[in-house]
Amino acid sequence: MIAVGAVAVLFIVASSSGGPSINAGSPAPNRSFTIDAGPLQQANSVASLSGKPFLLWLVTTWCSSCQAGTQAMAQNIHAFASDGVRVVELEVANDFGQSGPDILSFGQQMAGPSFSDSDWSWGTASAKLTSTYDPQSDLDIYYLINSSGHIVYANSSPASTMAQLLQEASTM
């Protein structure tokens, strides 16, 4: 009976691990996406962004934290640009099955005039990128990636973590 219980616990732990954990210091896994607007329209994968630091940010277009985060980013996009950090905001694959606006409508509404900023690109994550970078299906998660393609900082909800994110970006 104890052996059955131990096996059940091991199965639950193994099946709830979500997916690969990506931590600071790790190389950023190369996954694909589509850029719909912004200066990086030739980019189609994480590796294609190497050579310059960038923020890879996954959002759902229906969540209030993502809306607030996009508005906060609009107020701070010039600080990222002055630190040489590009922002790539991607809608998770299929918006996690919820209905929300497409990423372009979302960006135009939430970012206002900053939507067209030359350091901010908008697109859609592939299913593989979404599952790799967001295995727990967080609604709003980001990774700060240095010019050599390593993750230097990861967090969520930039509306509430903007001070920490700006501090990390300033060290790039």
Number of structural domains (the chain) is 1
Please report the pLDDT score of residue 41 as a whole number.
63
In a domain, 14, yes or no: no
CATH number at residue 130: 3.40.30.10
In a domain, 98, yes or no: yes
Please report the pLDDT score of residue 43 as a whole number.
67
Pairing of strands 120-125, 33-37: antiparallel
Cβ–Cβ under 8 Å, residues 151 and 24: yes
Low-confidence residues in the chain, pLDDT < 70: 1-21, 37-43
Please report the pLDDT score of residue 33 as a whole number.
87
In a domain, 5, yes or no: no
Question: Which token pair is 94?
Answer: 């299929």
Please report the pLDDT score of residue 38 as a whole number.
56
Cβ–Cβ under 8 Å, residues 154 and 143: yes
Give residue 126's domain range: 29-169
In a domain, 83, yes or no: yes
Please report the pLDDT score of residue 149 as a whole number.
94
Please report the pLDDT score of residue 69 as a whole number.
96
Q: Encode pLDDT of 42-66 as tens digits.
A: 668 899 888 999 999 999 999 999 9
Alpha-carbon span 30 to 171, nearest angstrom = 23
In a domain, 21, yes or no: no
In a domain, 2, yes or no: no
Helix/strand/coil for 22: coil
Please report the pLDDT score of residue 16 as a whole number.
33
Please report the pLDDT score of residue 39 as a whole number.
59
